[in-house]
Structure 1
């Protein structure tokens, strides 16, 4: 068990963000751990979304009212208890409003940390990917294990025109995004720039509050990525910078449709920084 005394001593004596790692762990080390750690206060996020871990992670039930978890073989259905509660609440909202069944992609690994594939973030138990596919089949029945592995999330963006694909998009998608963004624990939601532009074009009076949380980002054409705020009682959790003022439908959005944004030049290969010392201790618990 993760020692309460050792944890409190580390937390009070050092900066968990600046402390050197006990030993350099790898993504393979983190993916090999299949069970969450214990923690005296329940779920406890450590470090940042892109350089962190989670003690006492909760496991999302593989199905519930209004949602089903996909890609079970990855075993990335762990997260902070607040993230689990958010997904279950959003699923219930989708069911109550007859918006379709939410298909849940990755949360994080049993103790968070870096993954072997797919993500740079999802490390501290506060991120989740939700497919844009609102399946009628999933509404009627429980998907099989094979379907959960083989189904693909279809894009809702016409990538040639770089705009929303009306054949794949519906008002229900807007309602799901609005319901997610209106929840107070949500910090921001990443979507493809074309999705953000479509929401801005259809903006209704009073929508700016939740629309501000919808942020354009590369590759999010087949799913949206929800990121929660650091829980108030998790002092070792490092949040992201505050959102810019406004609803994001200004000139800053136009940049995402330039050639520079569409085809960014590859940057230098960077070495990930060492994980916080508490994460290295957590890995070896």
Structure 2
């Protein structure tokens, strides 16, 4: 895996999410996918982003590009500037057949196979492509949910984690494959012209600082994020911190290039801080 747009500093997540991304990277590679390009996860302290994400606020969501990782490692400049592949025709809302491969289907099926994954948001055209082409076991399609955007990447969401009593679980997905009337709605004019229908769902619900619950305000008012000395590692902690310090000028995710000499917790996208963020999360309806 490689973290894209590292300057955004949105590679932080709940330990369960970071572990899941790394597991998906290994499993997907075994399935024939060359590697994950990871987009937004969350900010170090969570909370709303300047681009208006209503989710991605407490580290339980991650964006995975639908562009396979190139054969050679990307430079930092390339990770900042490389464009993701637009998989959907913006006029027809259908997948570009020349770009879609069986590997894309296998990647989404693998992600949906994990019990901790509650739903995966994709562009409606991608959902339709899966509905039209998947044979055999289709039970995993119920987790694939159509939503605005998500034509360059898919959005993987896990459920509330232990120790987060304020986290409100989202309604379970329907038991069917989701390929019937609800999907057909996305291929009418209504979803794409919401200004003409005030009752239509909104594509983006903006979260502002004023809307944050008190638990979030406490996190933002806390002292600065922990230093390397305050980070808990598994295994030989002293050696891990010393190794991490030697790379202090490098982005945190590049530490994993020395995975053979670092314990598992140090090879994540960023060291896991001791602070937790057990707060409710606004969740889009799908």
User: Normalising to structure 1: TM-score of the pair?
Assistant: 0.71
Asked if 1:192 corresponds to 2:123, the answer is yes
The residue matched to 1:201 in structure 2 has which SS? helix
Q: CA RMSD in A?
A: 1.8
Cα distance between partner residues in 2 of 1:98 and 1:271 = 38
Match in the other structure for 2:225: none
C-alpha distance after superposition, 1:13-56 (max 9, x if no partner): xxxxxxxxxxxxxxxxxxxxxxxxxxxxxxxxxxxxxxxxxxxx
Is the aligned partner of 1:166 residue 2:97?
yes
**Structure with larger RCO (C-alpha < 8 A, sep 6+):** 1
- Partner of 2:156: helix, strand, or coil? strand
Is 1:275 the counterpart of 2:275? The answer is no
Displacement of 1:100 in angstroms is 1.7
Residues 121, 145 of structure 2: 8 Å contact kept: yes
User: Residue 194 of structure 1: CA displacement?
Assistant: 0.6
The aligned runs of 1:1-285 (5 Å cut-off) are 67-135=1-69, 137=70, 140-208=71-139, 210-265=140-195, 272=208, 274-285=211-222
Q: 1:198 to 1:117 in 2, by over 3 A?
A: same
- Partners in 1 of 2:184 and 2:89 — Cα distance? 17
1:200 is paired with a residue whose SS is helix
- Which structure has the highest strand share of the two? 1
How many Å apart are 1:147 and its aligned residue?
0.3
After TM superposition, give the deviation of residue 81 of structure 1 in Å. Answer: 0.4
For 1:226 and 1:232, how far apart are their aligned partners in 2? 19
Which runs of no fewer than 5 residues in structure 1 stay unpaired?
1-66
* Offset of residue 270 of structure 1: 7.3
CA change 1:177–1:73 in 2 (3 A) is: same
> Tell me, what secondary structure is at the counterpart of 1:101?
coil
Q: Displacement of 1:271 after TM fit?
A: 7.3
Query: 1:141, CA displacement in angstroms?
Result: 2.3
For 1:115 and 1:271, locate their aligned partners in 2 and report how far apart those are by CA, in whole Å: 8
C-alpha distance in 2 between matches for 1:271 and 1:68:
28
Taking the aligned partners of 1:170 and 1:201, their CA distance within structure 2 comes to 14
Deviation at 1:230, TM superposition (A): 0.7
CA 1:146/1:118 → structure 2, altered by over 3 Å: closer, same or farther? farther
User: Which segments of 5 or more consecutive residues in structure 2 lack a partner in the other structure?
Assistant: 223-286
Scaled by the length of structure 2, what TM-score is found?
0.71
